[in-house]
Amino acid sequence: MKKLLASLVALAVSATAAQAADKLTLQLQWVTQAQFAGYYVALDKGYYKEEGLDVTIKPGGPDIAPPQVLVGGGADLMLNWMPSALAARERGVPLVNIAQPFKSSGLQLTCRKETGITSPEDFRGKTIGVWFFGNEYPFLSWMSQLGIPTDGGSNGVTVLKQGFNVDPLLQKQADCISTMTYNEYWQVIDAGISPDDLVVFKYQDQGVATLEDGIYVLEDRLQDAAFQDQLVRFVRASMKGWKWAEANPNDAAEIILDNDATGAQTEKHQRRMMGEIAKLTAGSNGTLDPADFDRTVATLLKGGSDPVITKKPEGAWTHMITDKAL
């Protein structure tokens, strides 16, 4: 009887603990892939559970705008590139960066060598594929700093609004296209173009990189002490997941495949992606470096006649969470 009672008490305690887990929903900015490995690892390895959290990860997609999801109450946290987040903040959506797992940018321009492009000055008279929806601003700023017009002509560049694919380069509709080091670049390679036939310009190397894949919440929710505590535990578990993924890239890729409900991802692609992603998260413990923020803002403010932001934002980031979590 005593053993039975003890078992029942243990079950009751376990059930109570499970019920007491704080629920949080994270909105990704794209589909399930190794770009978000740290969060899926934290979920799979029980790091969130160890912190008393019940975390739901919602994949993104081309028709999902994370800031809108956050404002609409569909998520507690979201991932976003800082240009998009700062633009939204200036428009009245009070987004705040609470952690920055990505230290470096993976954005680059990939060009066919046969075009004769060997330096950014050679972009003049060429057609460049550029992603929009906020992703165009680093490019426009870069061209503005170089004094290269973006309205066409022999002295400027013709901007091709690029979809989230590499077709313009493959079909020779553009001389260069936007790619990520961990994704679209490898789609070009997989399509049969040799790396020797390509010239790559990384935004990081050009000094115009902006911060990517930060963790954001709505500013007013930071006034809630209970929510702050949940965020501290979330960031701590997430960074534990990221560092595990960096150290175990192939295993992390397997976890991504296990969580890909679409079945669209492949082992080869996710392993390769995770290897590249690890290079971008390396050097960050999750704390935003103010110098990286200042560089991002400076880049965005130099975006030509139509900058993404018109003034340096105030209150757009905080160390409140990472100071306690890390």
Q: What is the pTM of this model?
A: 0.91
In order, the DSSP letters of 255-306 are HHHHH-TT----HHHHHHHHHHHHHHHTT-SBPPPHHHHHHHHHHHHTSTTS
Pairing of strands 53-58, 22-27: parallel
Lowest mean pLDDT among 43-47, 151-155, 229-233: 151-155
Lowest mean pLDDT among 13-22, 27-36, 173-182: 13-22
Confidence (pLDDT) at 305: 63
* Statement: residue 104 has pLDDT above 80: yes
Band of residue 306 on the pLDDT scale cut at 50, 70, 90:
low
Q: Taking residues 42-55, what's their average pLDDT?
A: 98
CA–CA separation, 78 and 60 (whole Å): 10
* Statement: residue 6 has pLDDT above 70: no
- How high does pLDDT run on average in the chain? 92
Which residues are within 8 A (CB) of 165 and not within 5 positions of it... i.e. 6 or more apart? 184, 187
Q: What's 177's DSSP letter?
A: E
Bridge partners of 318, per DSSP, are none
* Statement: residue 132 has pLDDT above 90: no
* Statement: residue 18 has pLDDT above 60: no
* Statement: residue 300 has pLDDT above 50: yes
Placement of tokens 């590499």 in the chain = 166
Confidence (pLDDT) at 220: 97
The full set of domains in the chain, from first to last, is: 2-103+211-325 (3.40.190.10), 107-206 (3.40.190.10)
Q: Taking residues 82-90, what's their average pLDDT?
A: 93
pLDDT in tens, 236-271: 999 999 999 999 999 999 999 999 999 999 999 999
Band of residue 16 on the pLDDT scale cut at 50, 70, 90:
very low
Q: Taking residues 223-244, what's their average pLDDT?
A: 98
Bridge partners of 78, per DSSP, are 27, 216
Which residues are within 8 A (CB) of 283 and not within 5 positions of it... i.e. 6 or more apart? 103, 104
* Statement: residue 107 has pLDDT above 60: yes
